[in-house]
Amino acid sequence: MLKFLLKRLIGLVFIILGVTFITFILGYIVPEDPIREQMGQHFNYQIWMQLRHIYGLDLPWYQQYARFLGHLLQFNLGLSFQFQNRLVWNILKDGVPVSVELAFWGLIIQLVVGIPLGILSALRANTWVDTTNMTTMLVIYALPPFVLAVFAQLLIGWLNTITGGSWPVSQWGNPWQYDWTDLQYKIVPILVYGAAGCAYFARLARTSTLEVLRQDYVRTARAKGLQERVVVYRHALRNALIPIITVLGLSIGFLVAGSFFIESIFNIPGIGRITILSVTNRDYPVMQATVVLLAFGVVIGNLISDILYTVVDPRIKSE
């Protein structure tokens, strides 16, 4: 087990290094001078040279990259171009808890609702239950999240009009607090965010479960006279979870990235909205920091998947 995880960790370190290098190079080869762009009509040559020195932009690219890595090892994401002398982490730190909270509850909905629906459809394959579930999931999956978000806002506005209510259509509330006022802000964005992923997990769980139920060892277990509940939950479900775990690892990392549209439409102050603003303002240190955070999330998600693999299939421990 320890040897297996050590191999994975070494590989993940190289992945992080590769992502940081690509992220740095993309920012380095941009033809525009970010400092010159930020100064605009107030350009002053001496101030421009001082700022380039402060940000290390007057160094060769390899020294800039070494400096970038050194700052990362010290958990320093650098200084913002747009907000002078302000650390990038100070810009992101208020948005990270919000985005993580949105992603966490969205993932919980996807797993708690999507996987059981998929398994139920597989056990009731080609019945009205299966047809209803999969048709509904397909419609939800086909609609982009930003379309669902806009539709949800229109529905809330219509309900507020006819009922005289005041259910909020934007903002988020206090991170990780769940009194009634905070829940009013959070319920709809979380449901919208979890909807598309829920549909995907449901269809994947159905396909995976059907494939396992057709295997010889499942037929053998049934031929021995075992109860259907034992056959499904003890023999079939564990193997059916392996493809789902693979997707789960990727989902954990991309959940925050996928929240960009939701945060923008619902005006949620997470790192998704901060990233979009940094792209608009060409604030490259903030952009690079969010890419690194996303890469770290993907790495952690894959590590969790590897650990879950060893729980579902103990044979992997010996590889």
Residue 138 belongs to what domain range?
95-269
CATH number of the domain where residue 143 is located: 1.10.3720.10
Give pLDDT, residue 123: 84
Same domain? For 137 and 62 the reply is: no
Confidence of residue 271 (pLDDT cuts 50, 70, 90): confident
**Residue positions counted in the chain:** 319
Q: 167 near 82, Cβ under 8 Å?
A: no
Query: What is the rounded CA–CA span in Å between residue 206 and residue 135?
Result: 13
Q: pLDDT tens digit string along 80-111?
A: 877 767 788 888 888 888 888 888 888 888 88
User: What angle do helix axes 271-280 and 237-258 make, rounded to 10 degrees?
Assistant: 40
Tell me the average pLDDT across 294-312.
Answer: 76
Assess if residue 300 is contained within a domain.
no
What CA–CA distances, in Å, run from 103 to 86, 142, 163, 236, 300? 27, 20, 31, 29, 14
Q: Which of 75, 92, 109 is the last residue of a domain?
A: 92
Same domain? For 239 and 100 the reply is: yes
Eight-state DSSP code of residue 276: H
Assess if residue 305 is contained within a domain.
no
Least confident of 46-50, 69-73, 309-313: 309-313
Domains of the chain: total: 2
Same domain? For 123 and 63 the reply is: no
Assess if residue 298 is contained within a domain.
no
Query: What is the rounded CA–CA span in Å between residue 193 and residue 133?
Result: 19
Same domain? For 229 and 106 the reply is: yes
Q: 99 near 263, Cβ under 8 Å?
A: yes
Residue 79, phi then psi, degrees to nearest 5: -110, 145
SS3 62: helix
Q: pLDDT tens digit string along 139-148?
A: 888 888 888 8
Q: 94 near 269, Cβ under 8 Å?
A: yes
Same domain? For 264 and 127 the reply is: yes
Give pLDDT, residue 4: 66
Same domain? For 68 and 130 the reply is: no
Same domain? For 174 and 56 the reply is: no
Q: 269 near 125, Cβ under 8 Å?
A: no
Tell me the average pLDDT across 151-160.
Answer: 89
CA angle 173–178–180, rounded 5-degree value: 80
Assess if residue 302 is contained within a domain.
no
Confidence of residue 317 (pLDDT cuts 50, 70, 90): low
| pTM listed for this prediction | 0.80
Same domain? For 188 and 176 the reply is: yes
Within 10 Å of residue 32's Cβ, how many Cβ atoms?
A: 9
SS3 79: strand
- Give DSSP secondary structure letters for 5-39: HHHHHHHHHHHHHHHHHHHHHHHHS-SS-HHHHHH
Choose among 234, 255, 256, 259: nearest CA to 312.
Answer: 234
Give pLDDT, residue 253: 61
